[in-house]
Structure 1
Amino acid sequence: MRKSSFKMVSVLMAVLLMAGVLAGCGGTASNDIKIGILSEMTGGNATFGNSMANGAKMAIKEANAKGGLLGKQITAVIADNKSEPSESANAMTKLATQDKVVAVTGVFSSSNAIAASSVAEASKAPFLAVGATNPKVTVDEKTGKVKDYTFRVCFIDPFQGTVGANFVLNTLKLQKAAVLIDNSSDYSKGLSAFFKDAFTKGGGSILTEEAYLQKDQDFKTVLTKVKASNPEVIYVPGYYEEVGKIVKQARELGITAPIVGGDGWDSPKLVEVASAAALNNTYFTNHYSVDDTSPISKAFVDAYKKEYGQAPDAMAVLGYDAANVLIDAIKRANSTESGKIREALAATKDYPAVTGATTLNTTHDAVKSAVIIEMVDGKQTFKATVKP
């Protein structure tokens, strides 16, 4: 081959290679707009993750049926974090660098969201967390600065813990509490701290504080210590697998005091693990109740039942809301550039979400109401709505 011909072939190959790279970058170079759904599809929080993903997929399906986004169809790219922080970081890396998504939504666990946000910040990938309530998700623990690219559509634990404490003090009229904390969970440690602070400031007292770890099976030793302190109420800010076992074993030990917790309880499997009878006289704070009779809620519940053959839980609704907030931000940005999407997310105000009008504040957290759920014969029963 002559030298000039070799140069021409080399230039052609370089052009083709660059075209391939650009075609794989997503956004405007692609025929679709890719949105990542990072979720706990397997592992200990799988019921949350699958509900979340179902809600997000339904929102994307509805948007595509209405013509898509910026003249293109939306493709959902689902990544499983296996309910583990390290896998959450790995999955976020893959979404941002290999799948070339323009933004990511999802994640229930605060520990998983904190791990994912580190990658999102480094890669400048807009990330809208769904159910992660610990303040460290959106605010850097070391610097105290708000993270540029990380947001969430749920309330945060200072609010949730205060709602729980005030419910115990003012509605249940109880002032002596025991607290069980999952020491392997940022969510549990954070929520318990805010509950204790609000509870003691409100005149209550913490009689004892015991710890456990995720995947523990036998809680009777710590529950025996709790029983000895004779509390009027027990606060358990954990996830449904451990909570179900704790409630069941507490009742087996003869503990009849009310047991109160947070949104980590919200799973159909809670009843399977604990039993309906054991869950009587238990309550938890949550993002949403299917008993909500507003037109927007009823429309969503009907559509979700038609799509998946079952009623939605709070994570399904939040997954749906998050995907819609993200789609709305991209639409307002009129761009798939990460910086413009970030700016549009930060400007979100009074978005008409199913879980209530959603505004993202200066710390990138949602300002919205909470609900109190009572378990009655194995069924979630709406108790009250608490506004921020």
Structure 2
Amino acid sequence: MRRPLMLLATLALAVVACEKKSTPAPSAPSPGGQPSAAGGAAPTNDANTILLGEIGSLTGPEATFGISARNGIELAINEANAAGGVKGKKLAVRVYDSQGRPEEGAQAATRLITQDKVVAILGEAASSVSMAMAEKAQAAKVPMITPTSTSPEVTKKGDYIFRVCFIDDFQGLVMAKFARENLKLAKVAVLRDNKAAFSMGLADVFIKSFKALGGEIVADESYSKGDTDFRAQLTAIKQLKPDGVFVPGYYTDVGIIARQSREVGLKVPLLGGDGWDSDKLYELGGSALEGSYFSNHYSPDNPDPTLQQFLKKYKEAYGAVPDSVGVLAYDAARVAIEAMKRAPDLSGPALRDAIAQTKDFPGVSGRITLDANRDAVKEAVVLKVSGGKAEFVTTVKP
């Protein structure tokens, strides 16, 4: 993986061997979760450098999200520096690994704020981790932009917290309408992760919306992150004969759930949200996922020239098509960079105000306008799993 001298990698990426990306072997992790330099000295927020912070799950069960986010942000930083930087200075980023854990994310945010003195924080993908980070960023008046945390609670943490993705209220409605109106499903069961804010919130919105559209929720089962056997819940759901099952979890669980649902004889379509979006989903779920659907932030099949140009650059740099986290992390970094250019200075309040003024920004994931709640107003897409990959089905606008 190509890295600029100023770019910082955090911990050993033991999971990289599992990634479909062309990357060199990682270095050993530095003690205590501290970052290690990649190709040079660790960047600092000095007179010639503007330092951003990034937190992502680089190790752990959702590591593909953190790695994709790091790639997208790196690409945006490289492009900005090649174009002259910001206010006559080069940009650099210091990256910490959250391991997908809220407590690690909070500690990393504190280090970025108090030790590294970053001007803004980018990340995380998971809503539970982002909420823990947001409390630290808000208290310190350091702007934070999450690329893909969709829980409405994230930006409620304060006026310094932003996102460039749609929220679960919209995503849940999209999938409820699609299930009811496009697939003509009358009875649906839900299987949610009771340890993930993203999963819980998305399930609640889907249930409310599906009922409002005249559908029936025949079961609302749950599991906990880290579980590997879902057969008891799936067997109970099968007995109620639903037309489909809504599984608003992360790809790590969904792939296994898909296989086990077929094992117990539950053969109806599975439905989900953007937490499904990873190449690992198809490795874990295999043919059991065929005919399933999920909502997402973008489709690589979209012919939009801005998106296609980005995909070309990303593939040249990392040897893969990015998932939605990589795409939205790139957009999050670019929103921050453009705000830094507009802001009169890089103090927390000035940069916060500049980010809040983002309107009709030409993101690769679509036009981005931040509303009064600092949430992005943008469209969603629905994808179908077919032939071991996700195919574009339709676009749903706010």
TM-score (norm 1): 0.91
Please name the residue that 1:177 is paired with.
188
Out of 246, 259, 276, the residue aligned to residue 257 of structure 2 is: 246
Q: Does structure 1 residue 187 correspond to structure 2 residue 198?
A: yes
- Please give the secondary structure, in 2, of the residue aligned with 1:136: coil
How far the C-alpha of 1:31 sits from its partner, in A, is 1.4
Written as runs of structure 1 = structure 2, the 5 A alignment for 1:322-337 is 322-337=332-347
Please name the residue that 1:69 is paired with.
86
Please name the residue that 1:211 is paired with.
222
Please name the residue that 2:211 is paired with.
200
Distance in 1 (alpha carbons) for counterparts of 2:200 and 2:327: 25
**1:331-361 deviations in Å (ceiling 9; x for gaps):** 1103211110000011110000001110110
**1:147-194 deviations in Å (ceiling 9; x for gaps):** 121000000000000000000001001110000010001110000000
Q: Does structure 1 residue 311 correspond to structure 2 residue 321?
A: yes
Please name the residue that 1:292 is paired with.
302
Identity %: 46
Written as runs of structure 1 = structure 2, the 5 A alignment for 1:113-152 is 113-140=130-157, 147-152=158-163
Distance in 1 (alpha carbons) for counterparts of 2:54 and 2:103: 17
How far the C-alpha of 1:26 sits from its partner, in A, is 6.4
How far the C-alpha of 1:25 sits from its partner, in A, is 12
Please name the residue that 2:164 is paired with.
153
Out of 368, 377, 380, the residue aligned to residue 378 of structure 2 is: 368
Gaps of 5+ in 1: 1-23, 141-146
**1:271-319 deviations in Å (ceiling 9; x for gaps):** 11111x1111100000011111011011000000001111111111001
How far the C-alpha of 1:122 sits from its partner, in A, is 1.0
- Please give the secondary structure, in 1, of the residue aligned with 2:153: helix
Q: Does structure 1 residue 384 correspond to structure 2 residue 394?
A: yes
Please name the residue that 1:225 is paired with.
236
Equivalent residue letter for 2:84: G
Q: Does structure 1 residue 38 correspond to structure 2 residue 55?
A: yes
Equivalent residue letter for 2:61: G
Q: Does structure 1 residue 255 correspond to structure 2 residue 266?
A: yes
Out of 76, 95, 100, the residue aligned to residue 117 of structure 2 is: 100
- Please give the secondary structure, in 1, of the residue aligned with 2:156: coil
- Please give the secondary structure, in 1, of the residue aligned with 2:369: strand
After TM superposition, the runs of 4+ consecutive aligned structure 1 residues lying more than 2 A away are 24-27
Please name the residue that 2:16 is paired with.
none
Larger Rg: 1
C-alpha contact 2:43 2:92 (8 A) present in aligned 1:
no
C-alpha contact 1:282 1:375 (8 A) present in aligned 2:
yes
Equivalent residue letter for 1:201: A
How far the C-alpha of 1:30 sits from its partner, in A, is 2.4
**1:70-92 deviations in Å (ceiling 9; x for gaps):** 10000111111110000000000
Seen in structure 2, the aligned counterparts of structure 1 residues 85 and 55 have a Cα distance that, compared at 3 Å, is same
Equivalent residue letter for 2:224: L
- Please give the secondary structure, in 2, of the residue aligned with 1:77: strand
Q: Which structure has the highest helix share of the two?
A: 1
**1:351-380 deviations in Å (ceiling 9; x for gaps):** 000011101100000000000010002111
C-alpha contact 1:70 1:334 (8 A) present in aligned 2:
no
Distance in 1 (alpha carbons) for counterparts of 2:51 and 2:295: 34
Please name the residue that 1:234 is paired with.
245
Equivalent residue letter for 1:327: I
- Please give the secondary structure, in 2, of the residue aligned with 1:71: coil
Q: Does structure 1 residue 278 correspond to structure 2 residue 295?
A: no
Please name the residue that 2:3 is paired with.
none
Gaps of 5+ in 2: 1-41
Q: Does structure 1 residue 52 correspond to structure 2 residue 69?
A: yes
Distance in 2 (alpha carbons) for counterparts of 1:353 and 1:301: 13
Distance in 2 (alpha carbons) for counterparts of 1:184 and 1:381: 30
C-alpha contact 1:245 1:274 (8 A) present in aligned 2:
yes
Q: How many residues align?
A: 357
